[in-house]
Amino acid sequence: MTMSEPRVLVLPGYMNSGPGHWQTRWEAAHAGFERLQMPDWMHPDCDAWCAVLEAALAREAGGEGSVLLAAHSLGCLTVAHWGARHASAATRAKVAGALLVALPDPRGPEFPRDARDFDPVPLAALPFASIVVASTDDPYGGVAFSQQCAKAWGSRWMDVGARGHINAESGLADWPQGFDWLMSMKPAAVA
C-alpha cells in the first residue's frame, strides 16, 4: 500500500463475491484492500456480520477517518445495521466513507430467506460520507427502496442504469467508475 492509497475494508454480500466480481478485482489490484470474512456466507446472521465489521475496525491502526468501506448487497445492510446498533464511537470515527452498491430490499421477493434478520433496515443517518449505487433492473432491490435509504442515510445516490445486481454478471470488469466514487471519499491523510 502506497501513502496515497487508502485502507479499504471490503464487505461482500450473500454467498461472498467470486473471482470476476469488481470487489475481488479491486482487492487483487490494491494492497490496502481487505475482504472481511464472515462466519457463514450461506446463512448470514446480522449481529454476527456486524460483529466482524466492528472487530475489524477496532483492529485498524489508523485514526479518525482512516478507512473506507466497499460494500455490495448484504454488505450494505451490514454497514447500515453496524452504524445504527453495533458501532462504538471509536470505530465509527475511523470510517471516512462507504460505497454501498446494489442495496437489497429485505422485504423483496428475491431476498434470501436465510438473511431475514437484516430487516428492518435502519434509516438513521450514517455518521460518515456514503454513496448508494443502484441499478434500474436489480432483482434484489428497487430504485425507490435504494433512494429511500440513501435519503435517510444522508448518502449520495447514483444510478448506473440497467446493470442487474451490479456484480460479476453485470460486465463491469474492474469498474473504474465505482472505484472513482469510492476514492472520492478518500481519507484526507492519504489524499
Per-residue pLDDT of the chain (191 residues; tens, 9 = 90+): 444 788 999 999 999 999 999 999 999 999 999 999 999 999 999 999 999 999 999 999 888 889 999 999 999 999 999 999 999 999 999 999 999 999 999 999 999 999 999 999 999 999 999 999 999 999 999 999 999 999 999 999 999 999 999 999 999 999 999 999 999 999 876 65
CATH number at residue 158: 3.40.50.1820
Domain assignment present for 22: yes
Domain assignment present for 2: no
Considering the entire predicted model, what is its pTM? 0.96
Domain assignment present for 1: no
**Residues in the chain, overall count:** 191
Domain assignment present for 111: yes
Instruction: Specify the number of domains making up the chain.
Output: 1
Which range of residues forms the domain containing residue 112?
Answer: 7-190
Domain assignment present for 186: yes
